Amino acid sequence: MKKILFLIITIALFLGVIVYFNPITDFLAAEISKKPTLVIKPGNNYTKNKDYLFIQESKDYIPYSYQDLLNIVYSVLDNGWDTFTFYCPKEYTECINDVEKLSDDEVVFSHINNYVHPFNSATNIDTSISLSGEITYNVTHLYKKEEINLIEKEIDRIISEIITPDLEEYDKIKTVHDYLVNNVKYDVERNENEKSKYNSYTAYGPIIEGYGTCNGYTDALAIFLTKLGYDNYKVATPPELISYSDSGHVWNAINYENNWLHIDVTWDDPVSNDGKDYLFHTYFLVNDEAIAEADKGDTTIEEHNYEKKYYLEFK
């Protein structure tokens, strides 16, 4: 009886497959050929959503070139996402190779990172690549939520005290520049020993603790400038372009009156031998020619020998 029942079920299944063969195969083919759906979340409160000559916001997150991949990385960072998945289209035959090349290029990543708001900047992007062409970026951000809240609150307080409605645009920027120079000390200990009790490498050091390195000064000024409505990003010189130092340098670029100019608060707040505090404006709102001239002297300063291919607004 069981054998007869099994035979009946087998014949029924066989007939069912014959009857529904075309609909089944059509469904599978459609599922296999279906384009993957991208999940695009909105950006956070610190998304700039601005295009630059080197890097632009991605429009559809479907890459067809290496530049498209650069734009996706920038967009992921600019939006403040923790993770993002996209797909290599079959038309872009070198996509996987280019993704792997980009994932190993810390230099390009660091320059892209300079274009986003400091609170969206990252210390690392982990890249996951599947054989099917699925790419996932997992981002480790530099700032914690608690730090952001404290910095935001303090900067809002400072702006309410030092920026008055009657100030001209130039004076607003100068007031913020001077505030940082007058209220922040350079963290010599971190510079010499690569460690310190202060968080001087982020904006938390200058704004909350009163100590900064060039990274901290630059992040702090970038946050001020953004709050005041100025388009800006960070410019960096890698250590290999500075013959007498093992560390690089970073400062601010600002779009002021439709011109891109440099501001280097670190070099305008020098560490003096006599222990006195000094306020300079040598590196305040200067163009390429002026910053190069300022670097000349008895000892040539190399910190501003940046690679213009990453900061094309200055070319």
Q: CB–CB of 220/186 below 8 Å?
A: no
Do the domain assignments include residue 251? yes
Name the one residue in this structure whose structure tokens are 């951000």. 141
Residues 137, 277 within the same domain: no
Residues 151, 104 within the same domain: no
Single-letter amino acid code for the residue at 258: N
Three-state secondary structure call for residue 143: coil
Q: Residue 120 carries which DSSP code? A: G
Do the domain assignments include residue 273? yes
Angle 104-110-112 (CA atoms, 0-180°, nearest 5)?
Answer: 100
Residues 235, 149 within the same domain: yes
Residues 157, 257 within the same domain: yes
What residues are paired with 83 via a beta bridge?
138
CATH number at residue 174: 3.10.620
Closest residue by Cα to residue 79 from 55, 98, 57, 54 = 57
Do the domain assignments include residue 181? yes
Residues 171, 78 within the same domain: no
pLDDT bracket for residue 19 (50, 70, 90): very low
Residues 152, 219 within the same domain: yes
The domain boundary, picked from 141, 173, 193, lies at 141
Residues 218, 185 within the same domain: yes
The enclosing H or E element of 113 equals helix 106-113
Whole-number Cα distances in Å, 123 to 113, 154, 157, 214? 9, 24, 28, 16
| Alpha-helix runs per DSSP H in 163-213 | 169-183, 188-193, 204
Three-state secondary structure call for residue 107: helix
Do the domain assignments include residue 1? no
| pTM for the predicted model, two decimal places | 0.88
Residues 241, 280 within the same domain: yes
Average pLDDT, the chain: 90
Residues 213, 116 within the same domain: no
Work out how many domains the chain is built from and give that number.
2
Query: Regarding predicted confidence, which is higher, 288 or 132?
Result: 288
Do the domain assignments include residue 217? yes
Residues 230, 149 within the same domain: yes
Residues 154, 189 within the same domain: yes
- Give the C-alpha separation, 235 to 279, whole Å: 22
Do the domain assignments include residue 206? yes
CB-based contacts of 225, cutoff 8 Å, min separation 6: 173, 176, 232, 252, 254
- Give the C-alpha separation, 53 to 253, whole Å: 14
Single-letter amino acid code for the residue at 61: Y
The domain boundary, picked from 141, 158, 179, lies at 141
Give per-residue pLDDT as tens, 47-105. Answer: 999 999 999 999 999 999 999 999 999 999 999 999 999 999 999 999 999 999 999 99
The domain boundary, picked from 141, 175, 197, lies at 141
Angle 192-247-255 (CA atoms, 0-180°, nearest 5)?
Answer: 120
Do the domain assignments include residue 18? no
- Give the C-alpha separation, 41 to 83, whole Å: 10
Give per-residue pLDDT as tens, 258-314. Answer: 999 999 999 999 876 666 778 999 999 999 999 999 999 888 999 999 999 999 999
Range of the domain at 77: 66-141
Residues 92, 173 within the same domain: no
The enclosing H or E element of 262 equals strand 259-263
Do the domain assignments include residue 211? yes
Average confidence (pLDDT) over 198-209: 97
> Which tokens sit at 245?
């130092």
